[in-house]
Amino acid sequence: MQYPVMYAVGTVLTFIITVLAERKLIPVLASKKMGQKILEIGPRWHKNKEGTPTMGGLAFIAASCITGAAMCVYIGVMRGAAAAAPLIMTLAMALASGLIGMIDDRAKLRKKRNEGLTAPQKFLLQLVLSGLYLLGMRLIGAINTSMRIPFTGIHLELGIFYYIIALLLLCGVMNSVNLTDGIDGLASSVTSVVALFFGAAAFFTGKTDPSLAAVSALMLGSCTGFFVYNAYPARVFMGDTGSLFLGGLVVGAAFLADNPLIVIICGLVYICETASDILQVGYFKLTHGKRLFKMAPIHHHFEQCGWSERKIVAVFTVATVLFCAAAWFGL
């Protein structure tokens, strides 16, 4: 029973630290004029959000580091240092992903517009990070070149192609979570459900995985704690700092579950956000200026259709519950 207790304590501790740290962080961010810049092409009512403190993800990153370090020690004591290695590797990857987001956020604030790193710059950094993560996980024996196909029970030996798929998955999911963070409370709500899914997977799929349980606890505590301040109307935004950190945890959890492709199903909301953005750009170029959606990513389309932010968050969260229920049969 020790790991369920670790999961519960880790979740609660991360939640409490996030709430307390965020309360201190918001006035600091506001005093340093680290406010969100709003795109001119965005919904006109988003202009009211201009100046809302951003980079609030620093609070739950700090909370995750504190709680994560404690859980690493606990797992090391209970199972030996090697058992904590996948957790350390995944947390380090998520922190590095958050650092890329911080660089992006700082660039936006410096330029005083909602444009930080260029897409190629960000992708290159994420590609290097993903490659290092896969290398580290392979060296400690946490992954191999066999990939499980959800719902089939089949493991395909992919050789070098495993790493190509894994690199695309890592970069894609990190950016997809980032795109989902477009309205108040959306990313934290959806990711809370995904965190619960991976938490259940850690305990109820035949073997207890302490690293997966720990990462799930960090995600759940971070998202619920941050939601206290990010629910509509938001008092703070997580920024790319926070969303890329969460993206790293989400995709890392899928690798810890030894089922990387399952994240496409349980995280289908993230995938739809990215797909809508890609389709919008492609259609715009092919038709010389026509739009497939009123606005992309897809949550902005629903905003333009008259949906309130609260309704979008509720519908997308319920959809994620259904996607996770379906994904359960693919574990």
31-40, 177-186, 233-242: lowest mean pLDDT where? 31-40
Q: Which two tokens stand for residue 212?
A: 């997966």
Average confidence score pLDDT of the chain: 94
Q: What is the pLDDT of residues 215-272, one digit of tens each?
A: 999 999 999 999 999 999 999 999 999 999 999 999 999 999 999 999 999 999 999 9
pLDDT exceeds cutoff 70 at 37? no
Higher pLDDT pick, 37 / 219: 219
Q: What is the DSSP string of 69-116?
A: HHHHHHHHHHH-HHHHHHHHHHHHHHHHHHHHHHHHHHHHHHHTSS--
Which pLDDT band, with edges at 50, 70 and 90, does 28 fall under?
A: very high
Q: What is the pLDDT of residues 134-167, one digit of tens each?
A: 999 999 999 999 999 999 989 999 999 999 999 9
pLDDT at res. 47: 62
Q: What is the pLDDT of residues 314-325, one digit of tens each?
A: 999 999 999 999
For residues 103 and 129, give the distance between their C-alpha atoms in angstroms, rounded to a whole number: 14
CB of 191 closer than 8 Å to CB of 230:
no
pLDDT at res. 196: 98
Average pLDDT over residues 98-105: 96
* Residue 201 CA, distance from chain mean position: 18
pLDDT at res. 51: 82
Which residues form the domain of 10? 2-328
pLDDT exceeds cutoff 70 at 40? no
Which pLDDT band, with edges at 50, 70 and 90, does 110 fall under?
A: confident
Count structural domains, the chain.
1
